[in-house]
Structure 1
Amino acid sequence: MLQNRRLSTAMNTKIAGSGSEAVVLAHGFGGDQSVWDKIVPYLAEHYLVVVFDWPFSGAIKEGLNLFDAVKYSSYDAFANDLIFLLDELNLKSVVFVGHSMSAMIG
């Protein structure tokens, strides 16, 4: 059961860099965090960079999938997950870059 697991683990969250400012990169529908692979190293030279996978992503590991078609029938559930993730990571202020549907969620 996922109640005992951290959301950051379930969402396959990865953090790079160590800057004082955080940049959160969110992929669009049909993708996963790998869409950011080419720019993360450059951003990580100056920022703390956070990437993750939305629950519908095929990159989510077996047994960790949070996807529920009813719950995620609106953007509100995705936005709540994002807020909970940022709270878990103790990030109070971030630059958010969302691709496609993630821009609407952000």
Structure 2
Amino acid sequence: MKHKRIISKKTINEIRSTRCEICGQRTNIEPHHINTRGSGGGDIRENLIQLCTQCHINTHSGQHPTKDDCLNKVAEREGITYDEVYAINRKAMGYEV
């Protein structure tokens, strides 16, 4: 059975910010899904990070910030460990943790 992706405009709006969480530059784009929607990444706090346009482009091209950089920043923001953020995301995507 395929796991249903978590969809929440409310959570996206809660994470949305005027500043990039990585470099601090001003931004007006929607938060980035660390685990893509296409791979089952949900609209949960632990999978969303506000990036500026340049950091967003860099992330998608495998440059800094990397997926691990983003997960570490989210862990810091949420006051939990990287491993906890990783596990929450895996569980939300339907994987056993």
The TM-score normalised by the length of structure 2 is 0.36
> Which structure's relative contact order is higher, taking Cα pairs within 8 Å and 6+ residues apart?
1
Structure with the higher fraction of residues in helix conformation: 2
Structure with the higher fraction of residues in strand conformation: 1
The TM-score normalised by the length of structure 1 is 0.34
